[in-house]
Amino acid sequence: MSKGTKLAAREAKHGEKMIEVRIRFWTDDISKGPGKMIIPKHAWTSGVVRIQGNEAHGIAPTKPRPFNSLLDLGAVIEKTLKGHGIMLHISNGMKKYVAPRPRTQCTQLCGVLWFGVVLGSSAFAEYDNANH
């Protein structure tokens, strides 16, 4: 799906409105006992992330993506969502502390940084003083 593509809204049955991401933690080899024993409520900090298939959203399940630590988990969830073309919208609770990205300031800053690298620090200072 390209960035400018708009999708039409559609009806969804109860139970198909949400997009479900599953996180599964490995529990093998924690117990010292023989066979396939587990210790209840104990797991490793690694496992897999998968997305549940959802016909209403046009999501087909794919192979789970592994993560090796809790620090990897956010990145793996993001890759999973992006891989399925899922677009997240900022919730009202998050709007309280997330500012919209300033487009013009970013362009100016990128230009200033580029000039600073190409022209050297003295040219950067002259450019910065002249334009700010």
Instruction: Decide: 82 and 115 in contact? Cβ < 8 Å.
Output: no
Inform me whether the pLDDT recorded for 131 exceeds 60: no
Can you give the pLDDT at residue 5? Answer: 58
**pLDDT digit string (tens) for 6-47?**
667 667 777 677 888 999 999 988 888 777 888 999 999 999
State what percent of residues in the chain have pLDDT above 90: 33
Question: In the prediction, which pLDDT does 18 show?
Answer: 82
Domain parsing of the chain, residue ranges:
21-89, 100-131
pTM: 0.65
What does the alpha-carbon distance between residue 88 and residue 85 come to, in Å, rounded to a whole number?
A: 10
| Mean pLDDT rounded to a whole number for the chain | 79
